[in-house]
Copies of this chain bind each other. A is one copy, B any other.
Amino acid sequence: MDRIPILKLGRFLLVSIQVDMHDQMAVALQEELTLRIVSDSARGVLIDISSLDIVDSFIGRMLSNIAGMARILDAETVVVGMQPSVAITLVELGLSLPGIRTALNVDRGMDLLNAGTAESE
Residues of A at the B interface (CB closer than 8 Å) are 1, 3-5, 7-10, 14, 16, 18-20, 48, 50-53, 81, 105-107, 110
Contacts and interface: CB of A to CB of B under 8 A. Distances in A.
SS class, residues of chain A in contact with chain B = loop
Contacts of A14: 7, 14, 106
Contacts of A20: 1
Contact of A18 (B9, B18, B53, B81): B18
Contacts of A107: 8-10
A42 to B, nearest CB: 12
Nearest to A1: B51
Contacts of A50: 5, 7
4 nearest A-B pairs in the assembled complex, by CB-CB distance: A5-B50, A7-B106, A16-B16, A5-B51
